Structure 1
């Protein structure tokens, strides 16, 4: 008997439940809706497949839809690019490394950044830069990023993880004015990555830890929402320089798609830029060594 793809089943069921039947343009009928969102037969109608075919897919049966059917399902469920990519990963067509083709419990090679990348980070004195690897593991940060966020290098190796830090460290809750939004984004980014690497033992252990230690993580994880971090804004209440709003852009390093560089900046001539400049000066002073921000 074929194994059940429970992740796919859960994702499709939750995506269907979030849809507004009125937005879908479906004809109204007299039946009472007992659950939110679209019915299975309505998703099938919108995607142009049989109700039985969609039902088997949502049950997690091991079937592989064609690219045209995946396109139709993504449209029917109004999936954004991250959701579409997650759907492909769960089905097993999102990459050349299918989830079914990897060894269960595999431990990937330890990630390290190239010396040239570290040299680049160290030379960027006025721009905070953080480099994350698989599973949000903090691979490197320059001086200003350590002063702005946290000094991951001073943490035990197992705790050098952005998602673990933002969800479990009380200092992170105090640092982010919009903590709920930022922490949820971290969870949804892990959800997206887990779909692509369901058999990564290190990632699975991180998720298990967070599910037991963070009620918010467990709640947000069960919602099965996914998010691709590309750019955005974070609002901080920094213990040294006070409130500031900081934008970020992400870059993927050529030749290493699993390593992402986050570059932070502020609006020119703004109070936030003045605060960041002050933090840059402070982080160069001897006082910054004696009185590092409690994050």
Structure 2
């Protein structure tokens, strides 16, 4: 991931989405490209057109926080996009050392996961690699894979990679395109915060080369911090399920998150989840393996 290129790409995509009417300015003359002109955006942000052009072209890396905030307001960015712009424009704020060793879930997290038998749960690393899951979480999102695979760093499933490159995972979601779009937007948000993570950059490069759909979505530079919502499954064992999800960030755990799924009590989705939890596959369900 190149911070300079990504900053310019982000600014251009958002400028292209903002019309003169949206910005409350009068348009003069024909427009060869959609959206605001650079000088119009610069005027709205209260900076010179030359300075904004240099920023968009990656020739200036010393923009003050107030200038970045002004540009964010001029572009009508939402809260997630404003954080993303700051991460791209001032990468030293979020500079982190790349991880050289495989990540592991903490023993306390594993014990908590093992206790959540009726809540499908997955522990993810910052690159969306699966560090652990409980049996119901495994059966819900990746029952066709080896339950113990998260304990082997070289074989760990990656939820984003599976979403785009694994046909079984693709069939699992009734609204696959919505699920994929959210995954890309979330990955964009994370990538800007971890610009020195070589493995994350490698994952993005792999998906760009192997999936034209990922490449097209990535080029639009979507940004969204994924924290909650609804996942619409078409599960091979119990059929359609609409499950609420929550992404809980684990303090002090290097970007680790807990992904939980739940159903509205008394709903058909809750009944489906109960049927899944009684699956013969889970009758002799193993404990969540510890990691070293």
Match of 1:192 in 2: 189
Structure 1 window deviating more from structure 2 (3-12 vs 244-253): it is 3-12
* Distance of 1:111 and 1:248 partners within structure 2: 23
Give yes or no for contact 1:46–1:76 (8 Å, CA) kept in 2.
yes
CA contact (8 A) 2:3 2:91 kept: no
| Structure 1 equivalent of residue 9 of structure 2 | 10
Which structure ranks higher in relative contact order (CA pairs < 8 Å, sequence separation ≥ 6)?
A: 2
**Aligned to 1:72, which of 55, 70, 73?**
70
**Cα separation, partners in 2 of 1:227 and 1:196, compared to 1, 3 Å:** same
Matched, 1:268 2:258: no
Indicate yes or no: 2:114 matched with 1:129: no
After superposition, the C-alpha distances for 1:180-221 in whole angstroms (9 at most, x for unaligned) are: 111121122222222222232211221121112111111111
Equivalences, count = 279
TM-score after normalising by structure 2:
0.89
2:50 corresponds to 1:59: no
Larger CA deviation: 17-26 vs 266-275: 17-26
1:145 corresponds to 2:137? yes
| Counterpart-to-counterpart distance in 2, 1:20 and 1:190 | 27
Indicate if the aligned counterparts of 2:3 and 2:195 stay in contact, CA closer than 8 A: no
Cα separation, 1, equivalents of 2:216 and 2:156: 22
For the 8 Å contact 1:94–1:196, the answer to whether it is kept is: no
Q: 1:159 to 1:19 in 2, by over 3 A?
A: farther
Give the conservation status (yes or no) of the 8 Å contact 1:4–1:59. Answer: no
The aligned counterpart of 1:293 is: none
Cα offset for 1:62? 3.0
Write the deviation string for residues 202-252 of structure 1: whole angstroms up to 9, x where unpaired.
Answer: 112211211121111111111111221010101011111111100111111
Q: Find the residue that maps to 1:251 and give its secondary structure.
A: strand
1:31-67 per-position Cα deviation (integer Å, ceiling 9, x unaligned): 1111111111111111111111111100111332222
Measure the CA separation in 1 of the matches of 2:3 and 2:201.
19
The DSSP-based 3-state class of the residue aligned with 2:278 is: helix
* Aligned partner (choices 45, 63, 67) of residue 47 of structure 1: 45
Deviation of the 1:12 alpha carbon: 0.7
Asked if structure 2 preserves the Cα contact closer than 8 Å seen for 1:237 and 1:243, the reply is yes
Provide the C-alpha distance between the structure 1 equivalents of 2:254 and 2:76, rounded to a whole number of angstroms: 26
Give the distance between the partners of 1:158 and 1:64, measured in 2 at CA: 41
3-state SS, counterpart of residue 122 of structure 2: strand
